[in-house]
Amino acid sequence: MNSDEIRTIYDEQLAAIGQALAHPIRIQILRLLEQGERCGCEIVPYFGLDQSGVSRHLTALRRAGLIASRRDGVRIYWHLAGDYVRDLLDTATKIAAGDH
């Protein structure tokens, strides 16, 4: 099998997901959003970062396709992009815990 045979159209997106999950705060944001949709203003106090820091993390998660948002007036509400994100977190946690 050569490199062309193992390369897929999804490899770059998978790498983006890996990069998004490479920061503990981003994982914690996903865990927070597992509990339900949150306004960005509700997320900031959990992490002791300023709004711009949280915004950068949210942007990385959105670009990776892990979260989505909706606007309601001036507020932006964030939620998991789908149940597959919860499944991904569960699987990654099992791997981290050695439960494979």
User: pLDDT tens digit string along 54-78?
Assistant: 999 999 999 999 999 999 999 999 9
pTM equals 0.88
User: pLDDT tens digit string along 89-98?
Assistant: 999 999 999 9
Distance of alpha carbon 65 from alpha carbon 13, whole angstroms: 9
Distance of alpha carbon 76 from alpha carbon 41, whole angstroms: 8
DSSP one-letter code for 10: T
DSSP one-letter code for 81: S
Taking 3-state DSSP, the helix, strand and coil percentages for the chain, each rounded to the nearest 5, stand at 60, 15, 25
**Cβ(28)–Cβ(46) under 8 Å?**
yes
Q: What is the CATH number of domain 3-97?
A: 1.10.10.10
pLDDT category at 34 given cuts 50, 70, 90 is: very high
